[in-house]
């Protein structure tokens, strides 16, 4: 009873603090993710005050948080949109992987952490934060801009790539051999392809099985199906998060729309718990030694990610201002980077400093990303971009939307 009382006090106090931090973030125009990470660092191992009684609660909540983050992301796309975007954005996605994964791998090798850490850090620096970027685009009123589909296409390719990357890196972290790793990857590929085919051909049937008119039944049905598929995916050595992402893709129409509205508050709660738990598991005393490498890595990969968006926008005929808006919008890293680092730390197969490096790296990019995204809208920047822009013929695909 005493432990349960301590659990209630600790969880209640920390959730109340997160609410205040979220409000503060909105007031100053900052994503709450870095604030949640800082809260976890303050009350975790080596922090100001350790919260031992609530550690298991936050560990379970963090798992649910990852599942809900990926489910909500999947609900944003239909299977047809996903396949279409994949075809059109494949060249940009390949460029994105090369420019942004290689710096992470190189840094891990330079720090002497070995090839396994190199694979993990490559994923951390590769994937942008869909949640943070979507919020930034909405806050800046750019959802209708011509460069926004380019940004979203790059994010879709990254998310789909994670469906294959996460099972592979999970198998490698578990120390399985080459054959077992290949089997795990093969199962992941087969599972993803199967779910995509089912979603394309029978997605309407799955959506009809849910009742969009009954909020309670819809919430329970979608959440139950997601947890069921996520658990089954984990049993098949496919990431539970990827299983949740595929469930989101399979749902469409009014069911997907109403499910998004119902699950958004639940996702926000458990997503906050997820980021806090990562901070709780990271010893802040490990941060100072990796601060300089994290800063250097952030500077390099912010530049390469900006170049990715710039070239992807140029490829489809977006004018100069839109190219810079697309590139700078892709800078923030977040959910997937923390997920990948969390898998590595939980497996115990890489240096414990990797978690500190990942947390510091995400903090730098998440804080600076939204601020950098505003640069093209500043008066001086607009003037400079107009001078660089080449006059385009009216009516062609290269006319930029201001």
Any domain includes 20: yes
Concatenating the DSSP letter of every residue in 258-269 gives HHHHHHHHHHHH
Q: Cβ distance 364 to 33 under 8 Å?
A: no
Measure Cα distances from 175 to 161, 164, 237, 365 in Å.
22, 18, 13, 31
- Extract long-range pairs of 131-134: CB within 8 Å, 24+ residues apart: 131/33, 131/69, 131/73, 131/271, 131/334, 131/335, 132/31, 132/33, 132/332, 132/334, 132/366, 132/369, 132/370, 133/329, 133/330, 133/332, 133/369
pLDDT (tens digit, 9 = 90+) per residue, 198-229?
766 776 777 777 777 788 888 888 889 889 88
Buried b (16+ CB within 10 A) or exposed e, 27-43: eeebbbbbbbbbbbbbb
Measure Cα distances from 318 to 84, 87, 151, 332, 399 in Å.
20, 19, 12, 22, 7
pLDDT (tens digit, 9 = 90+) per residue, 304-351?
999 999 999 998 888 888 899 999 999 988 777 887 887 787 777 777
Rounded to a whole number, what is the distance in angstroms from the first to the last CA of the chain?
A: 61
Give the side-chain half-sphere CA count within 13 A for 40.
Answer: 28
Any domain includes 51: yes
pLDDT the model gives residue 344: 81
Any domain includes 233: yes
Mean per-residue pLDDT for 227-247?
76
Mean per-residue pLDDT for 245-263?
82
Question: Can you read off the two tokens belonging to residue 373?
Answer: 């995204």
Number of structural domains the chain divides into: 1
Any domain includes 262: yes
Q: Which of 26, 21, 45, 37 is nearest to 294 (CA)?
A: 37
Q: Cβ distance 19 to 39 under 8 Å?
A: no
Instruction: Return the higher-pLDDT residue of 195 and 162.
Output: 162
Q: Cβ distance 105 to 281 under 8 Å?
A: no
CATH of the domain at 170: 1.20.1530.20
Any domain includes 398: no
Instruction: Return the higher-pLDDT residue of 127 and 186.
Output: 127
- How many CB atoms are closer than 10 A to CB 220? 13
pLDDT (tens digit, 9 = 90+) per residue, 146-185?
888 888 788 878 877 877 787 778 777 777 666 666 776 7
Distance CA 13, CA 36 (A): 14
Measure Cα distances from 143 to 26, 135, 149, 392 in Å.
19, 10, 9, 23
**Can you list the alpha helix ranges (DSSP code H) found in 281-378?**
287-315, 320-329, 335-347, 353-373
Any domain includes 191: yes
Any domain includes 99: yes
pLDDT the model gives residue 300: 96
Distance CA 400, CA 278 (A): 41
Distance CA 308, CA 155 (A): 12
pLDDT band, very low/low/confident/very high, at 396 (cuts 50, 70, 90):
very low
pLDDT the model gives residue 104: 93
Any domain includes 217: yes
Measure Cα distances from 54 to 83, 139, 266, 398 in Å.
42, 34, 19, 55
pLDDT the model gives residue 401: 44
Lowest mean pLDDT, pick from 37-41, 44-48, 147-151, 365-369: 44-48
pLDDT the model gives residue 303: 96
Geometric angle at alpha carbon 189, from 255 and 312, rounded to 5°:
75
pLDDT the model gives residue 305: 95
- Residue 218 belongs to what domain range? 2-387
- CA 193 from centroid of its chain's CA atoms: 22
Question: Can you read off the two tokens belonging to residue 265?
Answer: 């508050």
């Amino acid at each position: 009873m005493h432990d349960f009382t301590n659990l209630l006090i600790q969880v209640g106090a920390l959730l109340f603090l997160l609410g205040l931090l979220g409000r503060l973030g909105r007031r100053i125009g900052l994503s709450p993710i870095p604030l949640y990470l800082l809260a976890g660092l303050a009350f975790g191992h080596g922090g100001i005050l350790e919260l031992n009684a609530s550690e298991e609660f936050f560990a379970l909540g963090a798992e649910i948080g990852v599942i809900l983050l990926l489910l909500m992301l999947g609900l944003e796309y239909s299977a047809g949109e996903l396949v279409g975007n994949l075809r059109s954005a494949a060249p940009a996605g390949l460029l994105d992987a090369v420019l942004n994964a290689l710096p992470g791998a190189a840094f891990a090798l330079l720090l002497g952490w070995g090839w396994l850490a190199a694979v993990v850090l490559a994923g951390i620096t590769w994937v942008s934060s869909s949640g943070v970027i979507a919020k930034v685009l909405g806050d800046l009123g750019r959802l209708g801009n011509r460069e926004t589909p380019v940004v979203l296409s790059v994010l879709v390719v990254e998310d789909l790539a994670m469906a294959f990357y996460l099972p592979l890196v999970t198998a490698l972290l578990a120390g399985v051999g080459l054959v077992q790793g290949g089997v795990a990857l093969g199962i992941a590929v087969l599972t993803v392809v199967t779910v995509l085919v089912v979603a394309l051909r029978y997605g309407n049937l799955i959506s009809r099985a849910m009742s969009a008119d009954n909020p309670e039944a819809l919430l329970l049905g979608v959440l139950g199906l997601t947890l069921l598929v996520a658990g089954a995916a984990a049993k098949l050595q496919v990431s539970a998060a990827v299983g949740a992402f595929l469930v989101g893709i399979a749902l469409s129409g009014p069911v997907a729309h109403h499910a998004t509205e119902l699950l958004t508050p639940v996702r926000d709660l458990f997503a906050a718990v997820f980021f806090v738990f990562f901070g709780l598991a990271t010893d802040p005393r490990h941060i100072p030694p990796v601060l300089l490498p994290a800063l250097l890595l952030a500077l390099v990969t912010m530049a390469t990610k900006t170049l990715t968006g710039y070239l992807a926008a140029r490829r489809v005929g977006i004018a100069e201002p839109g190219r810079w808006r697309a590139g700078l919008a892709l800078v923030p890293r977040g959910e997937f980077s923390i997920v990948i680092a969390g898998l590595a730390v939980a497996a115990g197969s890489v240096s414990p400093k990797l978690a500190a490096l990942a947390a510091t790296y995400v903090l730098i990019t998440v804080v600076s990303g939204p601020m950098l995204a505003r640069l093209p809208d500043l008066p001086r920047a607009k003037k400079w971009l107009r001078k660089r822009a080449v006059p385009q013929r009216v009516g062609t695909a290269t006319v930029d939307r201001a």
